[in-house]
Amino acid sequence: MFASLAVSVVAEAAPLEAYGRLPNIEEVSISPDGQKLGVILTTGEDRGILIRDLAGGTDQVIRAGNQKVRALSWAGSNHLLITKTTTASIADITAPRAEWTMTQDYSLATGKFRSLGSDFQNGLNVTINQPTVREIDGNMAIFLQGIFFDSGRGQVALYRIDPETGLSKKLHPGFAHTQDWLVGSDGKPIAEEEYDSKLGEWTLKIAQKVGWLSLHTSKVSIERPGVAGFGRDGRSVLVAEPVDGGLAYREISPDHPIWSEPFYKGPAKDPIFDPADHRLIGFQALVGENEVYEFFSPTDSAAWAKIERAYKGQRVSLASWSSDRSRIVVLVQSPTEGATYALVDFKSRHADPIGLMFEKLTPADISQKQPIHFKAQDGLDLSGYLTLPNGREPKGLPLIVLPHGGPATRDEPGFDWWSQALASRGYAVLQVNYRGSGGFGESFEQLGYGQWGRKMQTDLSDGVRYLAAQGTIDPKRVCITGASYGGYATLAGAAFDPGVYRCAAAVSAPSDLHWMVAWTKNHKGIASQRYWTRFMGAEDPKDPVLGEISPAQHADRINIPVLLIHGRDDTVVDLEHTRIMERALKAAGKSVEVVIQPGEDHWLSRGETRLQMLQSVVAFLEKHNPPQ
């Protein structure tokens, strides 16, 4: 079906480039009429957008170069909305260097681009959140949040844009602390949410015939409620509220607004909305090792069950679907063949491949990834994944520990390019869902509070000891590498867990937590600061506990080689962390290598620098922990 995306078969193991460059397909979005696909493609470095005509018409290709294309959506079937980001400071604006979002409309009829927001009066050409699309009286309308200036002060506003003419209209200037709106089927905002970070207050407002009703205000310490979309009737306002480690969902009628009782309260689930009328039709969640889709309608449940049966033994995720849901794009992750996008057509009763995410990888290049379970030193049940190198007996293997970021996220079943790349070099790779990881309930996440550099750290080395006791790995041949919080865990492993690792390669790693907490408060706000101090066990930026768990302040304890990698455009963990760690290690007379990546952000968004990171890490690991 997609000859240009055919798999390249090679006789021997794939080179690092096959794992480390950008995925060949990053996203697929189907048009409302189900006749076109928008596909974010890469060459491994540069990006492009393929518009595939499923009705047999002419395909179109848009070249994006090294731009960071983040998402695709449709405004009808003739306008493709392209969301991009760029790292920048804005001249004459008092704001930190940040990752700014911009949205373009590409007309399939004219082949021309239009930057949405470029005509916002007294405003910036940047947008906030993803665009909302509504069909009103047979015409498509795009709704975007933008920033305009009133008396020199930046303020969020809601705009309506006609995709045919490109003309924009300010619908609402917003309030002092506006975060988002929900736009009704008539094109008018029906709900608005605000968050005052200084007071720690979240407020929901409902539109009235005249003005707005402040329906509910919640005192918020860290997590806050949010408007998720429409409820089950397609008109009510769906509000998600963090409660008891999970979520509560409630529906607010715009006609008779009251803060109703939740209709769901339990483990966190993500809502699924009808692509045509945007009403809530079900939930999705990762439960243990399985991705679970729950639909309210038996017809929808039966349809999804057919898809799961067609890909039995594989993880299937909904990526996009047509308005009538007869054509569905799914991401299929096979334990033996990697990740593939596919198009399921219920009318023709066919499922056709669209293309592999990593087309240069064959089944022979995919290593076995298996779930594992073990106990921490204090008896806590832990889980994770072990990826074993192909062609080697699982005994006495060299090991790489690869802690995830977050920290309140989790490692998941399915294809992971970094662990697969390391396994392809001959290493076993351990990924642990340490205490504090998300996705296992509030009590498990709370066990991580105050445990940075402590039990969250020893959970990793407990996994090493478990594998050593099984005879799977050689405990004298273990290194650690990770990014973001995983980078912190890498440095903390070197500083606070001596004797476990032979080397440590940290990417975008926090190293000085005093500095991190102070920087976060200044650049991200008090709620973000509270999030971090909760996990660190600190009260404020001057709390001495931060020094106790800062690797940079204990560089003298590190007796193994260290590699530091960081992007200059990182707006999440500032580059200064790597500079601080480098100075501390050199002052202590320790071995350190440093790679600074121009143009790279926190998420390794560029193909060239992502590959450079992987090559640098593998070369470092092979030097200090040879796989053979």
42-60 per-position pLDDT tens digit: 998 899 999 999 999 999 9
- Mean pLDDT of all residues in 297-317: 95
Window from 160-174, 345-359, 369-383 with minimum mean pLDDT: 160-174
User: 345 pLDDT exceeds 90?
Assistant: yes
pLDDT higher for 521 or 473? 473
User: 2 pLDDT exceeds 60?
Assistant: no
Q: How many Å apart are CA 291 and CA 316, to the nearest integer?
A: 7
User: 157 pLDDT exceeds 60?
Assistant: yes
Tell me, what's the pLDDT at 542? Answer: 86
Which pTM value belongs to this model? 0.93
How large a percentage of the chain has pLDDT more than 90?
Answer: 78
Q: How confident is the model at residue 99 (pLDDT cuts 50, 70, 90)?
A: confident
- Mean pLDDT of all residues in 496-512: 97
Tell me, what's the pLDDT at 6? Answer: 32
Q: Which of 503, 517, 498 is nearest to 574 (CA)?
A: 517
Window from 320-329, 330-339, 376-385, 476-485 with minimum mean pLDDT: 330-339
Amino acid at 243: V
- List of residues 6+ apart from 293 with CB closer than 8 A: 272, 282, 283, 284, 304, 318
User: 4 pLDDT exceeds 50?
Assistant: no
Tell me, what's the pLDDT at 5? Answer: 36
Name residue, tokens 């039990």.
455
Q: How many Å apart are CA 581 and CA 576, to the nearest integer?
A: 9
Q: Which of 583, 595, 587, 588 is nearest to 619 (CA)?
A: 595
SS3 68: strand
Tell me, what's the pLDDT at 88? Answer: 83
Tell me, what's the pLDDT at 442? Answer: 82
Beta-carbon neighbour count of residue 405 at 10 Å?
20
Tell me, what's the pLDDT at 147? Answer: 83
- Mean pLDDT of all residues in 223-228: 92
| 498-522 b/e (C-beta count within 10 Å ≥ 16 → b) | eebbbbbbbbbbbbbbbbbbbbbbe
- Mean pLDDT of all residues in 419-433: 97
- Mean pLDDT of all residues in 292-315: 96
Window from 94-98, 169-173, 203-207 with minimum mean pLDDT: 94-98
Q: How confident is the model at residue 122 (pLDDT cuts 50, 70, 90)?
A: low
User: 153 pLDDT exceeds 80?
Assistant: no
Tell me, what's the pLDDT at 587? Answer: 98
User: 93 pLDDT exceeds 70?
Assistant: no
Q: How confident is the model at residue 124 (pLDDT cuts 50, 70, 90)?
A: low
Q: How many Å apart are CA 39 and CA 27, to the nearest integer?
A: 6
Over the stretch 8-27, which tens digit does the pLDDT of each residue have? 333 367 999 999 999 999 99
Q: How confident is the model at residue 94 (pLDDT cuts 50, 70, 90)?
A: low
- Mean pLDDT of all residues in 335-362: 94
Window from 4-13, 77-86, 149-158 with minimum mean pLDDT: 4-13
Taking CA atoms, 142 is separated from 10, 86, 131, 190, in Å, by 46, 22, 7, 16
Q: Which residues share a beta bridge with 433?
A: 383
Q: How confident is the model at residue 415 (pLDDT cuts 50, 70, 90)?
A: very high
Q: How many Å apart are CA 386 and CA 617, to the nearest integer?
A: 19
User: 121 pLDDT exceeds 90?
Assistant: no
Q: What does the block give as tokens for 424?
A: 């392809």
User: 255 pLDDT exceeds 60?
Assistant: yes
Window from 48-52, 196-200, 311-315, 498-502 with minimum mean pLDDT: 196-200
Window from 77-81, 197-201, 341-345, 507-511 with minimum mean pLDDT: 197-201
Q: How confident is the model at residue 319 (pLDDT cuts 50, 70, 90)?
A: very high
- Mean pLDDT of all residues in 499-521: 93
User: 92 pLDDT exceeds 70?
Assistant: no
Tell me, what's the pLDDT at 1? Answer: 33
Tell me, what's the pLDDT at 10? Answer: 30
- Mean pLDDT of all residues in 351-359: 95
Tell me, what's the pLDDT at 3? Answer: 34
Mean pLDDT of the chain: 92
Q: How confident is the model at residue 228 (pLDDT cuts 50, 70, 90)?
A: very high
Radius of gyration of the chain (CA): 25
Over the stretch 460-490, which tens digit does the pLDDT of each residue have? 999 999 999 999 999 999 999 999 999 999 9
SS3 content of the chain, % helix, strand, coil (to 5): 20, 40, 40
- List of residues 6+ apart from 60 with CB closer than 8 A: 50, 51, 108, 111
Tell me, what's the pLDDT at 9? Answer: 32
